[in-house]
């Protein structure tokens, strides 16, 4: 099967020697003025292992160093070359627009951990402390209070995360964010930042860290623009 790594726009002959998932050779097949980075591998689902994921990432990093890449999701495979060609034909316009959108940009990630407002270290949670409710009414009232607390925490998280996100998004072309992906993960976000605005973005992150000593921030990158590429799907219903 054909494993697709990326649609890319790299100068001809710029491609370094690439080894992909399972050690396969990665070719740059011309596609209009751009190229499709792909390799041939055995049929079947590509196992999600650290080695394979890193191999995928390495191919994209190498291409990114040489030009513009529109990364494909890990494990994007086509049974026949003709299937791939059909999808490229079908979504050609969207893919070219996608390439233009990420040109001269890199993806940077920011994750923020918080301590929930009512969470104090060392104290057992409410359910461990209080005895079981003695009546159905008491049970429902307790549940209602828990619901209210939960909604208040979510609203607080949304406010805080939105404010932080807004500051960071100022120096980005585009962004994706998720609030409370887990109860501790206040914000997980990806930013599409132009290379010439990278220092602006980094300084925005530094200011954020300085302004919120109570939060733990992790900034990563630069990544291939994973979050800003349309999915290349073998089905007609593929969507961005």
Partner 1 sequence: MPDPTADIGEKIFSGTENLDDFLRGLDRLTRGLPARIDADPKTVEQGLAKLVLTLVNLLRQLMERQAIRRMEGGSLSDDEIERLGQTFMKLEQRLQELKVAFGLEGDDLNLDLGPLGKLL
Residues lying near partner 1 in the complex (CB under 8 A): 19, 50-51, 54-55, 57-58, 108, 110-111, 113, 132-133, 135-140, 143-144, 147, 178, 181-182, 184-185, 202, 205-206, 209, 216-221, 223
- Of 81 and 144, the one with the shorter C-beta distance to partner 1 is 144
- Of 33 and 120, the one with the shorter C-beta distance to partner 1 is 120
Three-state SS at 220: strand
Three-state SS at 13: coil
Report DSSP letters for 55-96, one per residue: HHHHHHHHHHHHSEEEEPPTT-EESSHHHHHHHHHHHHHHHH
- Of 57 and 167, the one with the shorter C-beta distance to partner 1 is 57
How is residue 158 written in tokens? Answer: 């949304």
Phi, psi of 78 (to 5 degrees): -130, 140
How is residue 179 written in tokens? Answer: 């609030």
**Alpha-carbon gap, residue 68 to 103, rounded angstroms:** 6
- Of 74 and 223, the one with the shorter C-beta distance to partner 1 is 223
H helices of the chain, where? 50-66, 81-102, 126-129, 136-169, 198-211
- Of 79 and 150, the one with the shorter C-beta distance to partner 1 is 150
Shortest Å distance, C-beta 16 to partner 1 = 13
- Of 197 and 216, the one with the shorter C-beta distance to partner 1 is 216
Shortest Å distance, C-beta 158 to partner 1 = 13
**Alpha-carbon gap, residue 145 to 140, rounded angstroms:** 9
b vs e for 81-92, b when ≥16 Cβ sit within 10 Å of the residue's Cβ? eeebeebbeebe
Query: With contact defined as beta carbons under 8 Å apart, do 39 and 26 qualify?
Result: yes
Shortest Å distance, C-beta 182 to partner 1 = 4
Shortest Å distance, C-beta 218 to partner 1 = 4
Shortest Å distance, C-beta 119 to partner 1 = 14
Shortest Å distance, C-beta 191 to partner 1 = 12
């Amino acid at each position: 099967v054909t494993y697709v790594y990326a649609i890319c726009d790299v100068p001809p002959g710029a491609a370094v020697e690439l080894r992909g998932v399972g050690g396969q050779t990665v070719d740059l097949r011309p596609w209009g003025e751009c190229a499709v980075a792909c390799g041939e591998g055995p049929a079947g689902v590509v196992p999600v292992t650290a080695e394979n994921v890193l191999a995928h990432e390495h191919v994209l990093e190498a291409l990114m160093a040489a030009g513009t890449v529109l990364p494909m999701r890990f494990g994007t495979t086509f049974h026949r070359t003709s299937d791939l060609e059909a999808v490229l034909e079908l979504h050609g316009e969207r893919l070219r627009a996608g390439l233009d959108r990420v040109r001269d940009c890199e993806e940077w990630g920011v994750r923020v951990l918080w301590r929930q407002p009512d969470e104090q270290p060392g104290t057992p949670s409410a359910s461990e402390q209080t005895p079981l409710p003695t009546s159905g009414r008491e049970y429902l009232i307790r549940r209602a209070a828990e619901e209210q607390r939960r909604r208040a925490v979510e609203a607080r998280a949304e406010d805080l995360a939105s404010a932080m996100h807004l500051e960071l998004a100022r120096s980005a072309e585009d962004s994706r964010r998720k609030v409370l992906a887990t109860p501790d993960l206040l914000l997980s976000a990806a930013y599409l930042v132009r290379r010439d605005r990278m220092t602006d973005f980094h300084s925005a992150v530094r200011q954020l860290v300085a302004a919120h000593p109570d939060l733990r921030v992790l900034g990563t990158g630069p990544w291939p623009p994973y979050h800003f590429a349309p999915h290349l799907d073998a089905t007609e219903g593929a969507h961005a």
